[in-house]
C-alpha cells in the first residue's frame, strides 16, 4: 500500500512538474518577441559576447558614447580594439554596474568614462531610461543590484520581473522582434558605435572657458562616480574621465569643474572637450555642423573627436595594434560596416545624377535598381539619356518604361515595357520593382512620371541607402522619394 501510495505521489509529482516546465517553456517562447529590443540592450548583450580579455579600450557612459566614439576609426587608424558600452540617459549608478560586469571578463588597457551625467541631480531617471539601462545582459547579481539602485521602491518588483514592463508590447510587435538582433546585418560584430548623419545648427558655439566656479555634484551621482574610480583602481585598470563637446551651460561647466577636482585628487586625467571646440575643430555653426543635437556629435564630429582621442590614447597608453590578429576579425567587420555607412551618407548628398552614378557604380557593395517611367522614345539626346548611355542603357527604345539592375558598375538585369518587373532577395528583405514603383520590404516608393528613379541598397551593411528620382530633363537635382 505504501508502494502504491508512493507510486501515486510520484505520478502526481511528475504531472505537476511536467505542467510547470511546459508552461514555463511556453511563456519563455512567448516572451522572446515581446522583450525590449534596442541598441541599448544590444550594447550590454554583445559586450558579454566579446572574447575574454579582448577589449583593449572600453568606453562607458550614456548615449554620447555610441554617437561620439567611432570604434571603426580607432581600428582603421591604430588597430585599437575598442568597445562602446553605453545606454541612453545612463546615470552613473548604471554605468558603475555595466563597468563592474564588463571587468569580470575584460581587462582593458584603459577605460574612458564620459562624465556628462555628473550633472544629474535626480534620484531616478525616467522609466524608459531605467528599462534601457537595467534590462541589458549583465550578470544576474550585477543586474539585480543595478535594478535595486535604479528603481523607485514602488516599482522595483516590476523592473525585477521585467515582464510587467514588456508584456504589453504585443501591440507594437513587428517583424524585427522575431529576427535575431532585429535583423541588423553583422550585428554580432558591432562594437557599439552608431552612425548619425543629422545636423543641429546653433547661432554660436558655447564658450565656458571663463567659468571657474564649482558646483556640488548630487550625492547619489557622486557616490557612484567615486565607486567607479575605486573599482578601476581595485581592478588595476587605468581610468580616464572625459566630457565630449555639447551645447554646455555655465551651470553644467561648474559641475565639471568639480569633476576635474575629483579627477586631480585621484590622479586621473580629465579631458573636458567643452574647453576645446577649436582644438577639436567642431562647431555648431553653419549648414553642415558636427552636432546631431544639443548633446551629441554626429558622424563628422565623432570622426574629429575619435581621431583626437585615438592619437592621445596611443601616446599615453600601451595599446596593442590588433590588425594582424585573426582573432580580432570582428573589429575589421565592424570598421568596414561603419566606413560603408559613412560613405553611403556622403553619397546621399550628391544631387547630380551623373556624379551620383559614377560614385555608386564604383562600389561593388552597392546594388542599384533603376526604373525609368515615361515615354522616352526619341529621347536619345537629353540629360538622362546621355548619362545612362555609358552604362549600356539606351533610353530611346524605352517606350513604356524599363527596369535596370546594376551591380559593380554593370547592368545585370534589364526589362522594358509596362509589365516589366524584377524582384531580388536582400538581407532579411526583398526588393520588388515595376515600371511605376519600387517596393522594399513593406515600404512602397512611387516613381514620379517622366523620371529615372533609383533605389540604392548596400549589400555590406544590409541597409537601404536612399531612393532618389531625377526628371528626364533635370538631372542636376535629384529628389528624395519617400515611402508612401
Partner 1 sequence: MLFNSFEFLLFFPIVVCVYFVIPRRIRYVWLLIASYCFYMSWSVKYALLLLFSTVITWLSGLSLDSINRTGRIFGCGGGVLADASLKQKVTKRKAVVAVSLLINLGILAFFKYFDFILNNINVTLSVFSIEPFEKPFDLLLPVGISFYTFQALSYTIDVYRGDVDAESNLFKYALFVSFFPQLVAGPIERSKNLLVQVEHVSRSDLWDLDRITRGVILMIWGYFMKMVVADRAAILVNVVYGDHLIYGSCELILATVLFGVQIICDFAGYSTIAIGAAKVMGFELMENFNTPYLATSVQDFWRRWHISLSTWFRDYLYFPLGGSRCSKAKHYRNIMIVFLVSGLWHGAAWTFVVWGFLHGAYQVVGDILRRPKNALWARLGVRTEAFSWILGKVMVTFMLVNIAWIFFRATSLQQGLDICWSMLASWDPWTLFDGSIFRLGLSEMEMGILVASIVVLALIDGVRFVKGQNIADFLMEQNLWFRWVVCIGLIVAVYVFGIYGPSFTPSQFIYFQF
The dihedral through the CA atoms of 313, 319, 325, 326 has a sign that is negative
Find the shortest distance in angstroms from Cβ 121 to partner 1: 23
**What is the rounded CA–CA span in Å between residue 73 and residue 302?**
10
Q: Are 358 and 391 in contact (CB under 8 A)?
A: no
Nearer residue to partner 1 within complex by CB, 11 or 362: 11
Q: What are the residues binding partner 1 (CB under 8 A)?
A: 12, 15-16, 19, 22-23, 26-27, 30, 34, 127, 155, 157-158, 161, 163-165, 167-168, 170-171
**What is the rounded CA–CA span in Å between residue 26 and residue 212?**
60
Query: Which residue do the cell numbers 550585428 mark?
Result: 187
Nearer residue to partner 1 within complex by CB, 155 or 186: 155
**Edge-to-edge strand ranges of the sheet holding 443-446:** 421-426, 429-434, 437-440, 443-446
Find the shortest distance in angstroms from Cβ 4 to partner 1: 15
Find the shortest distance in angstroms from Cβ 164 to partner 1: 3
Nearer residue to partner 1 within complex by CB, 22 or 250: 22
Q: Provide the 10 A C-beta neighbour count for residue 419.
A: 10
Q: What angle do the packed helices 71-78 and 299-316 form, to 10 degrees?
A: 50
Query: Which residue do the cell numbers 580594439 mark?
Result: 81
CA-nearest of 242, 245, 240 to 209 is 245
Find the shortest distance in angstroms from Cβ 19 to partner 1: 6
Nearer residue to partner 1 within complex by CB, 168 or 444: 168
Find the shortest distance in angstroms from Cβ 460 to partner 1: 37
Find the shortest distance in angstroms from Cβ 171 to partner 1: 5
Residue 387, all three cell numbers: 548619362
Nearer residue to partner 1 within complex by CB, 167 or 362: 167
Nearer residue to partner 1 within complex by CB, 22 or 410: 22
Nearer residue to partner 1 within complex by CB, 168 or 477: 168
Find the shortest distance in angstroms from Cβ 29 to partner 1: 9
CA-nearest of 282, 402, 274, 327 to 79 is 327
Residue 213, all three cell numbers: 566656479
Amino acid at each position: 500500500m505504501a508502494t502504491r501510495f508512493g507510486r501515486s505521489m510520484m505520478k502526481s509529482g511528475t504531472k505537476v512538474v511536467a505542467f510547470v516546465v511546459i508552461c514555463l517553456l511556453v511563456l519563455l517562447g512567448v516572451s522572446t518577441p515581446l522583450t525590449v529590443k534596442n541598441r541599448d540592450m544590444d550594447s550590454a548583450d554583445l559586450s558579454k559576447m566579446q572574447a575574454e580579455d579582448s577589449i583593449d579600450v572600453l568606453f562607458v557612459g550614456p548615449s554620447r558614447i555610441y554617437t561620439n566614439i567611432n570604434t571603426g576609426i580607432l581600428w582603421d587608424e591604430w588597430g585599437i580594439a575598442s568597445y562602446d558600452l553605453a545606454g541612453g540617459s545612463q546615470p552613473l549608478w548604471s554605468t558603475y554596474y555595466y563597468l563592474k560586469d564588463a571587468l569580470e571578463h575584460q581587462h582593458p588597457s584603459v577605460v574612458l568614462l564620459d562624465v556628462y551625467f555628473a550633472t544629474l541631480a535626480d534620484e531616478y531617471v525616467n522609466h524608459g531610461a531605467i528599462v534601457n539601462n537595467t534590462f541589458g545582459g549583465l550578470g544576474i547579481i550585477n543586474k539585480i543590484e543595478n535594478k535595486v539602485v535604479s528603481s523607485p521602491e514602488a516599482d522595483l518588483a516590476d523592473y525585477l520581473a521585467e515582464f510587467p514592463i514588456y508584456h504589453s508590447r504585443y501591440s507594437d510587435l513587428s517583424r524585427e522582434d522575431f529576427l535575431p538582433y532585429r535583423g541588423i546585418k553583422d550585428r554580432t560584430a558591432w562594437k557599439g558605435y552608431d552612425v548619425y548623419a543629422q545636423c543641429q545648427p546653433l547661432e554660436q558655439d558655447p564658450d565656458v572657458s571663463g567659468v571657474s566656479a564649482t558646483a556640488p555634484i548630487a550625492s547619489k551621482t557622486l557616490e557612484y562616480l567615486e565607486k567607479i574610480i575605486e573599482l578601476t583602481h581595485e581592478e588595476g585598470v587605468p581610468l580616464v574621465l572625459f566630457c565630449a563637446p555639447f551645447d554646455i551651460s555655465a551651470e553644467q561647466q561648474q559641475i565639471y569643474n568639480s569633476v576635474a577636482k575629483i579627477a586631480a585628487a585621484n590622479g586621473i586625467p580629465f579631458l573636458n572637450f567643452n574647453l576645446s571646440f577649436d582644438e577639436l575643430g567642431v562647431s555648431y555653426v553653419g549648414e553642415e555642423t558636427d552636432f546631431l543635437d544639443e548633446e551629441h556629435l554626429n558622424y563628422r564630429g565623432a570622426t574629429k573627436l575619435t581621431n583626437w582621442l585615438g592619437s592621445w590614447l596611443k601616446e599615453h597608453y600601451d595599446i596593442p595594434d590588433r590588425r594582424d590578429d585573426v582573432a580580432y576579425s570582428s573589429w575589421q567587420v565592424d570598421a568596414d560596416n561603419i566606413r560603408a555607412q559613412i560613405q553611403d551618407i556622403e553619397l546621399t548628398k550628391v544631387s547630380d545624377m551623373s556624379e551620383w552614378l559614377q560614385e555608386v557604380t564604383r562600389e561593388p557593395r552597392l546594388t542599384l535598381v533603376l526604373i525609368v517611367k515615361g515615354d522616352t522614345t526619341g529621347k536619345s539626346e537629353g540629360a538622362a539619356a546621355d548619362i545612362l548611355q555609358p552604362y549600356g542603357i539606351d533610353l530611346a527604345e524605352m517606350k513604356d518604361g524599363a527596369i535596370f539592375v546594376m551591380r559593380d558598375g554593370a547592368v545585370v538585369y534589364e526589362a522594358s515595357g509596362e509589365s516589366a518587373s524584377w524582384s531580388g532577395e536582400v538581407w532579411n528583405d526583398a526588393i520588388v520593382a515595376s515600371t511605376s514603383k519600387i517596393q522594399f520590404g513593406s515600404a512602397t516608393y512611387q516613381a514620379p512620371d517622366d523620371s529615372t528613379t533609383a533605389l540604392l541598397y548596400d549589400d555590406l551593411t544590409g541597409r537601404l541607402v536612399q531612393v532618389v528620382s531625377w526628371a528626364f530633363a533635370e538631372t542636376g537635382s535629384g529628389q528624395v522619394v519617400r515611402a508612401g
